[in-house]
Amino acid sequence: MTRKIWMLAAGAAVFLAACQEKEVVLVGEREDLIPLGEVTSNESPAIRLPAQSQNASWTHRIGTQKYRTENAALSTRPNLIWSSGVGKGESRKNRITADPIVADGRVFTVDAEATVTATSTAGQLLWSRDLTPVHDKAGQASTGGLAYGDGKVFVTTGFGSLRALDPATGADLWEQKFQAVGSGTPTVYDDLVYAVSGDATGWAIETATGKVAWQLVSIPTVQNVQSPAAPAVTDRLVIFPYGSGEIQGAFRRGGVSRWTVGLSDARQGRAVNTVGDISGDPVVVGNTAYVANHSGRMASIDLETGTRNWTSEHGALSPVFPAGGSLFLVSEINELLRLDASDGTRIWSVTLPQFVKDKPRKQTEVHAHYGPILAGGQLVVASSDERIRFYDPQSGALTYSIELPHGAATNPVVAGGVLYVVNRKGELYAFR
């Protein structure tokens, strides 16, 4: 017995001594297995892109086919023409989540502290409106997103409401209180505006009066992100994305649920992938919706039945962009990808900048990448590392890049041949 105890004690001492050994860090520069910006490709088949179109407006996120400009006209080498402050920049507490929208010769933006601004397409400030409620303080909440329709600007707020504003003056037209955070982006279709509040409730609200037409409820969850995902709408259906990972298709007029699909799968090996929020908005192409979550999965869903056509092991933090039988996206692990829309297989991938600091022990913050969109026949990605990059859709090759001071905070949009993006400091930049 004594010998066994001695042997156990000796083994424990060796184990403890091993644990106390100083970690050996090898000297020399760290190299990625796949160099930054290098294209990895199975094959790069030819792609037939839609012709460029001279769109005067960009009123919504790209999920609803009615509002998506498939290839906005833009120079292949745009340059900065002006910039303008639009409010407070990002901080540890507050983020800029609303993509700019363009309508009626105005660019509408929201800063990190719920102030809406209208700027002319020449860069002149037209009006600014703080949406902080009387009994709250500025900076206590951020804002969800923006949309334009029925002659009104619609904005969701972190203070728990949907507001309709006069686009000419910023005056309040009506307010509908959600009793939950209004983090999602609204979508306008005919005389109804659709939005998700608290990541768990889908709303249909009359655009003229602000009255509730109907509501749907999903499974509540606390494991989600501040995602400004927007519902996608067709003539028959509205597709709501929820924080629980559910996607719900409902008849848009009556609110009767047609189907519900769960996208709870995750990429293994990353703690952050326990968050299953639908962060890649539903994107409708014909009778199919493409939707992605925060944790490493994307699905193609049949709109009529809700069944999955296929599932791919790639998540997305912005809506995928469909073009020429392909899907383009920035994955949750910072890869720009081209997938085959018919089955989700990868055609090529490009590694985008990842960590803000390269030293292994300081790799805690990652760069954010917004987009892509297709404009001027190129894929456009705006990034927090102070660059806007342009890529060839067929091969994934980098074709051009321009500086964006302080880095991107929103997806890029294009209208009137001008590229707009808001940076992290709360400034609107225009490139032509």
- For the stretch 24-49, pLDDT in tens is 555 555 555 556 667 787 668 999 99
Spatial separation of the C-alpha atoms in residues 122 and 427, rounded to whole Å: 14
Alpha carbon 199 to its chain centroid, in Å, reads: 15
Instruction: Give yes or no for a contact between 404 and 386, defined as CB atoms under 8 angstroms apart.
Output: yes
Q: Which of 24-28, 155-159, 166-170, 315-319 has the lowest mean pLDDT?
A: 24-28
- Cα separation, 133 vs 169, in Å, equals 19
Answer yes or no: is pLDDT of 7 > 50: no
**Residue 18, number of CB atoms within 10 A of its CB:** 8
Q: What is the pLDDT, as a whole number, of residue 1?
A: 44
Average pLDDT, integer, range 274-278: 64
* pLDDT mean across residues, the chain: 88
Residue 2: what are its φ and ψ, rounded to 5°?
Answer: -60, -40
- Considering the entire predicted model, what is its pTM? 0.88
pLDDT number for residue 223: 58
CB atoms within 10 A of CB 230: 31
Find all residues with CB under 8 Å of 278, minimum gap 6, and list them. Answer: 227, 229, 241, 242, 243, 245, 246, 247, 263, 291, 292, 293, 294
In this prediction, residue 275 has a pLDDT band, given cuts at 50, 70 and 90, of low
Read off the tokens for 222.
């606390």
With cut-offs at 50, 70 and 90, classify the pLDDT of residue 22.
low
Provide the CB-side half-sphere exposure for 236 (13 A, CA): 9
Using the predicted structure, report yes or no on whether residue 396 has a pLDDT greater than 60: yes
Higher pLDDT, 377 or 178: 377
Give the pLDDT score at 5: 41
Give the tens place of pLDDT for each residue, 88-130.
Answer: 999 988 999 999 999 999 999 999 999 999 999 999 999 999 9
Q: Are 144 and 183 in contact (CB under 8 A)?
A: yes
Q: For residue 399, which amino acid is it?
A: T
What is the distance between the alpha carbons of residues 132 and 113, in angstroms, rounded to a whole number? 8
Task: Mean pLDDT check: name the lowest of 66-80, 179-193, 215-229, 360-374.
Answer: 215-229
Supply the pLDDT for residue 138: 82
Q: Could you read off the pLDDT of 413-426 as tens digits, one per residue?
A: 999 999 999 999 99
Check: CB of residue 384 under 8 Å from CB of residue 369.
Answer: yes
